[in-house]
Amino acid sequence: MPENKSLENWLLFAWIASFASTLGSLYFSEIVGFVPCDLCWYQRILMYPQVIILGIAIAKKDYSIALYSLILSSIGALISIYHYSLQKIPFLADHAGSCGRIPCTGEYINWLGFITIPFLALIGFTMIIISSIMILKIRKAGR
């Protein structure tokens, strides 16, 4: 039984991370008025559905979702790392191709000199990745 409670907690943690990331993203675009660049949209495409699929998984106690959330979040994290690199590594910023009408090198926020929107997305994806890996490990140990 403690194994099931741990699975529930990790799944809830992943859902909270996806929900908070989605709310943060919507806050920046809909309330503050920041227009997302193309890479931001790709990150959103990979984050937003996770609120729904992880929520359904919680309701159904379906821990097999961890594999899917791991894949979606890993792709999202890679995009976030690339996007963050475009913002913070001068060589990449100078040689970045066009990224739609909003440049992907732009930094709407730069808290503490390193926290940008792609960095926040990376934190959200990383939290889901960790949760997914923990769920997969616990399930494997229980077999």
Predicted structure pTM score: 0.95
What are the pLDDT digits (tens) for 65-105? Answer: 999 999 999 999 999 999 999 999 999 888 877 777 889 99
Q: Measured between alpha carbons, how far is residue 140 from residues 45, 49, 69, 135, 136 in Å?
A: 29, 26, 17, 9, 6
What are the pLDDT digits (tens) for 10-34? Answer: 999 999 999 999 999 999 999 999 9
